[in-house]
Structure 1
Amino acid sequence: MSIWKKPATLEQINKFGANTLVSHLGIEVTAIGDSTISATMPVADHTRQPLGYLHGGASVVLAETLGSIAAHLAAEEGMVSFGAEINANHLRSVRSGTVTGVASPLRIGSSMQVWDIRITDDNDELICISRLTAAIRPQP
């Protein structure tokens, strides 16, 4: 059974991120499951730090993007989500390819949600573990 309270297609979600940091980093939402959302991001010049590795900040942007989309879709109609806190543990470095993030819920409440986001490389090795706390508020 799906946890989503707002309908959305991949096309709608990706279009919503056009001309934002999300599209600038090449983040593309690729799947919506019953309780997870997945997205990819290239490891390329625009997502690397000066030594040539994936920038930790880019991983955090991927994590916050996934968690925020998930929190919004899991909130009641008329409610929006705002990131309140995010943390990230960078476990492994990567120089090329694509990373994939998957967000899954730890808690979905009416005023606060907590999401676990795991980012892996092309070999399915864990790159980063992140947790996003989202505040749920009435849409202004």
Structure 2
Amino acid sequence: MTDVDGLPPLDQTLIARMGITILEVAPERAVGTMPVDGNTQPYGLLHGGASAVLAETLGSFAAAAHAGPGRIAVGIELNATHHRSAREGTVTGTARAVHLGSTLATYEIVVEDSESRRLCTARLTCMLMDDRRS
């Protein structure tokens, strides 16, 4: 797990609990990995919800980078289609911008296994707003 500049420490978040590592963050693209081990459903397959968490994490980080200083990104819509699953190894998610507006940002996120087979395709829309935390 890697902390990301401009965001609070990630050590007490779902991101840390799932073993997500952030490799790259920019407004147009974010990339990260997640182990299958520990993120499975009872049949030993990667849990679809784990893929959704990875997708929302990467899209949200990219959207926050797009929002800029003093602003935050909050997910308002996520959908995911699961094409296949994995039983072991590490999966990689790549978020690519579809729309970068002043109040909304939308990303397509593709989750692949170590053989570059598509496991999940997700779309995330984030609302961009002023950071109201004090």
Segments ≥4 residues shifted beyond 2 Å:
31-35
Greater percentage in helix:
1
Structure 1 residues 11 and 57: alpha-carbon distance in aligned structure 2, compared to 1, 3 A threshold: closer
Partner of 1:37: 30
- Aligned equivalents of 2:64 and 2:33: distance in 1? 19
Structure 1 residues 11 and 40: alpha-carbon distance in aligned structure 2, compared to 1, 3 A threshold: closer
Deviations 1:15-61 (A, max 9, x none): 732121100000001124673110000000x2000000000000000
Identity of paired residues, percent? 39
Corresponding pairs, count: 130
- Among 89, 99, 104, the alignment partner of 2:96 is 104
Q: Report SS of the residue matched to 1:63.
A: helix
- Provide structure 1 residue ranges, at least 5 long, that are not aligned to the other structure: 1-9
Partner of 2:16: 23
How much does 1:124 deviate? 0.4
- Aligned equivalents of 1:32 and 1:80: distance in 2? 15
Partner of 1:92: 84
- Provide structure 2 residue ranges, at least 5 long, that are not aligned to the other structure: none
- Aligned equivalents of 1:122 and 1:78: distance in 2? 37
Q: Report SS of the residue matched to 1:81.
A: strand
TM-score norm. by structure 1 comes to 0.87
TM-score norm. by structure 2 comes to 0.91
RMSD over aligned Cα atoms: 1.8
